[in-house]
Structure 1
Amino acid sequence: SVFFAPVLFPLIVWLVAPQPVSTHGKKALIYHILPTVFSIIAFACFMVLFNTSGAVLTTLLVIVIIITIVGSLYYLVYNLYAGIKVLVVDQL
């Protein structure tokens, strides 16, 4: 889950589980780390944005911030979708 042990649990599954399951753990780990990377990039851009005065650089940083926030939200929703999909398929 994205909300409960988003990095720790997929890492454990990837390292401990047998081959078919460990592949899913590796994919989940990557999909859980991507929003964190996007958030760090957006935060760094915010810090640079507050220290700049150029209009072109400010516009570029705002565009990068918007793209990283949208990417982060996309992967959050995708992780929730993938988790629900796994639960529904297992119930059938």
Structure 2
Amino acid sequence: MRQLLSSLSYFSIFFAPFLLPLIVWILSPDAYVAKHARRALFSHVFPVIAAIPMIYMAVTSGSFGSIIGYLILFGIIYFGAFVYNIIMGIQVLRETAY
């Protein structure tokens, strides 16, 4: 059950990116589940935090090329976080198989 709840925290990027890991982290008495929920929450919040300076720079620069560049950079960061969550969710689930 521990691994299932921990992996759901990572897989929640598909259905409840911020809400489920936060709830699991706050309510879980198990340190293992809380650790993975905290990591999942950070990996869901990180692209949003990284987007704040990029949005500011894109708005203040005003050139179309820099706006496109910042959007591409945000896409790469978000895609990396998305793939990380999928990999970690699978990795946590596979821990039960051994």
Query: Is this a same-fold pair by TM over 0.5?
Result: yes
Residue matched to 1:7: 18
Q: Which residue of 2 aligns with 1:28?
A: 40
- Flag as ranges the 4+ runs of structure 1 deviating above 2 A: 18-21, 33-42
Report the equivalent of 2:88: 82
Aligned residues: 84
Equivalent pair of 1:13/1:25 in contact (CA under 8 Å)? yes
Q: Aligned to 2:69, which of 59, 63, 69?
A: 63
Question: Cα offset for 1:36?
Answer: 4.5
Q: Is the 8 A contact 1:14 1:26 kept in 2?
A: yes
Structure showing greater radius of gyration is 1
What is the percent sequence identity of the aligned residues?
A: 33
Which structure exhibits the higher relative contact order, with contacts defined as CA atoms closer than 8 Å and separated by 6 or more residues?
A: 2
Secondary structure at the counterpart of residue 14 of structure 2: coil
Is the 1:31–1:79 Cα contact (8 Å) retained in structure 2? yes
Q: CA RMSD in A?
A: 2.6
TM-score, L = length of structure 2: 0.67
Structure 1, unmatched stretches of 5+, are none
**1:57-77 per-position Cα deviation (integer Å, ceiling 9, x unaligned):** 222111111100111111111
Q: Aligned pair in 2 of structure 1 residues 17, 6: CA closer, same or farther (>3 Å)?
A: same
Bigger mean CA offset, 79-88 vs 28-37: 28-37
Distance apart, 1:86 and its partner CA: 0.6
